[in-house]
Amino acid sequence: MVMGDLPVETELLVLGDGPGGYATAFRAADLGLDVTLVSNEARMGGVCLLRGCIPSKALLHLAELAGGAREAADMGLDFGLDAHGPRWDLERVRHWTDGVVERLTDGLAELCERRGIQRIRGRGAFADARRLLLTDSDYSSIQFEQAIIATGSRPVAPPGIAFPAGGRIMDSSGALALADIPERLLVVGGGYVGLELGSVYAAAGSRVSVAEMADQLLPGTDADLVRPLHERLAKLFESIRLETRLESADEQGEQVQVALKGPDGDEQATFDRVLVAIGRRPNSDDLGLDAAGVELDDAGYIRVDAERRTSADNIFAIGDVAGGMQLAHKAMHEGKVAAEVVAGRPAAFDARAVPAVIYTDPQIAWCGLTEREAKAQGVEVAVSRFPWRASGRALTVGAADGLTKLLLEPETGRVLGFGAVGRGAEGLVAEAMLAVEMGAVAEDLALGIHPHPTLSETVGEAAERFLGLPTHLAPDRKRRPA
């Protein structure tokens, strides 16, 4: 009998093994369910591990070191570098990042095995709400009682522009492959993907140009957090073109001809490579969701409730494909919620502060309510800022242009949101997340002793400032101390 004829029956089917998929599979297995994990990839980890978060952060680490080495000369530490900066041996870099990815994906596979989770490779599409048909697989179909869809998202291509594999017009995965360091790189899209990858290439020696349609890099992020980043990137990149869109891009020989339309008119330019990072779309289009009774919203995301249940009672959806913040940790959390619900526990997704971190230099991190959101929702907030030029630690790491801010309920001092820009901002956001989730008030942060000298002090001091009692700043004239 051929293996493909064997019907696979499972209690819980998980479709997709990225951070959402594997987190939900692990939790469900730990809660005693029989879990089958289906993925169309050979290795576990999804985009995040294989072509996203992990490799990009590995490269950004090198970019940080490269940038730091250049700066060090001004501080008296000379690496003996020439004008080109440190030399990037791309083959060894790729080998190292691949090694990091390999280690993690092997680790995930082992965790699957230890938990008795059955892994099946294949492309799935629902035949109905209880059956998934498989192609490119050793199995033909899976019968399931419950299912969790975690198929993630993929980069969006602008109309008329394709991403041929290995071509000079790349999406983020192509850029991470680090085929070469182009002399001139155009990054289309001033979101975090474009800026992070652009920073890597710039650190490696590319002359990088960014084109962003909106009037601000990182559109949607509070302007005061973007400003210091923009200033540094303006020195790192060759140019930043705001309110500019890509009209066309044609690969011609070893170069790419692009047409850009900006506030000053049309422009033709030539680049060695073009990275297009203008957004992602959910992988919900060929899963047979209709047959399963799973509804989508207008943008193609799967509609879910607080338990992450779809319109089909026994099918859940998590992660990028379910909309919301497209972040791995949000997917992981959703995955745990869905697994608990499937296991009969009263779980729900009610996070108040999903943190976000952008790994440029300086970093940007925020969680909870942003100033933009507060304004849009008509929520009255008090904003308390602490500029890093007053932070000892910030000065020792060359991050005097940083900023920490807290958004607080004016009367109770409840912490509603947090934002920071600066080197090391990623290390501050978790405390703020806990403060927002716990319903902490400013005193809770101000009365906690933050270690000195660290950047975390800026959080405590922002809280103290709200209360009228800053330490490393002069007290505001208008506020009376408590």
Partner 1 sequence: MSREMRFTDPGEGIHEAEVVEVLVNAGDSVQEGDSVLAVETDKATTELPAAYGGEIEQLAVAVGDRVEVGDLLLTFAGDSDEAPDESAPAAQRPDPEPEPEPARAEPEQAEPEQATPKQAQSKQGAPEQTEAQQPETRRDDGGDGASHAPKRPHKGPVPAAPSTRRLARELGVALAQVAGSGPGGRVLDADVRGASEASETADTRQAERAEAPGSPERPATTEPEQPQPERGAAKPAPAASAEPLPDFSRWGDVERVELRSVRRATAREMARAWAEIPHVMHHDRADVTALERFRRAHVDEVAAAGGKLTLTVLVLKAAAAALRVMPRFNASLDADGETIVLKHYCHIGVAVATDAGLLVPVVRDVDRKSVRELAVELAELARRARDGELSREEMQGGSFTVTNVGGIGGRLFTPIIRYPEAAILGLARAELAPVVTGDIDAPKIGARLYLPLCFAFDHRLNDGAEAARFVNRIIDSLQDPESLLLSV
Residues in touch with partner 1 (CB under 8 A): 222-224, 227-228, 306, 346-348, 350-352, 371, 374-375, 379-385, 387, 403, 407-414, 416, 437-439, 441-444, 465-470, 473-474, 476-482
Do residues 458 and 399 make contact, with C-beta atoms less than 8 angstroms apart?
no
| Least gap, CB of 429 to partner 1 (angstroms) | 16
| Least gap, CB of 224 to partner 1 (angstroms) | 4
The span from the CA of 465 to the CA of 268, in Å, is 50
Looking at beta carbons only, is 200 or 435 nearer to partner 1?
Answer: 435
Dihedral in degrees, nearest 10, Cα atoms 271, 273, 274, 280: 180
Looking at beta carbons only, is 273 or 465 nearer to partner 1?
Answer: 465
Residue 224's SS3 state is: helix
| Least gap, CB of 171 to partner 1 (angstroms) | 32
The DSSP output letter for 470 is: -
Looking at beta carbons only, is 69 or 434 nearer to partner 1?
Answer: 434
Report the half-sphere exposure of 144 (CA within 13 A, side-chain side): 31
Task: List beta partners, residue 12.
Answer: 35, 146
The burial class, CB within 10 Å (0-12 / 13-18 / 19+), for 188 is buried
The span from the CA of 434 to the CA of 43, in Å, is 33
Residue 330's SS3 state is: helix
Helix axes 192-203, 223-236, angle to 10 degrees: 30
The span from the CA of 198 to the CA of 210, in Å, is 8
| Least gap, CB of 34 to partner 1 (angstroms) | 23
Token pair listed for 173: 């995965």
| Least gap, CB of 477 to partner 1 (angstroms) | 6
Looking at beta carbons only, is 318 or 462 nearer to partner 1?
Answer: 462
Tell me the residue length of the chain.
Answer: 482
Looking at beta carbons only, is 259 or 469 nearer to partner 1?
Answer: 469
Do residues 59 and 29 make contact, with C-beta atoms less than 8 angstroms apart?
no
Looking at beta carbons only, is 141 or 360 nearer to partner 1?
Answer: 360
| Residue found by looking up tokens 């294989």 in the block | 50
Do residues 253 and 265 make contact, with C-beta atoms less than 8 angstroms apart?
no
Do residues 210 and 271 make contact, with C-beta atoms less than 8 angstroms apart?
no
| Least gap, CB of 378 to partner 1 (angstroms) | 9
Helices (H), 131-184: 172-176
| Residue found by looking up tokens 């066309």 in the block | 248
Looking at beta carbons only, is 17 or 340 nearer to partner 1?
Answer: 340
First to last CA, the chain: 80
| Residue found by looking up tokens 């705001």 in the block | 242
Looking at beta carbons only, is 196 or 222 nearer to partner 1?
Answer: 222
| Least gap, CB of 423 to partner 1 (angstroms) | 16
The span from the CA of 24 to the CA of 333, in Å, is 8
Amino acid identity of residue 329, one-letter, is: H
Q: Active-site positions? A: 452
The span from the CA of 142 to the CA of 4, in Å, is 11
| Least gap, CB of 192 to partner 1 (angstroms) | 19
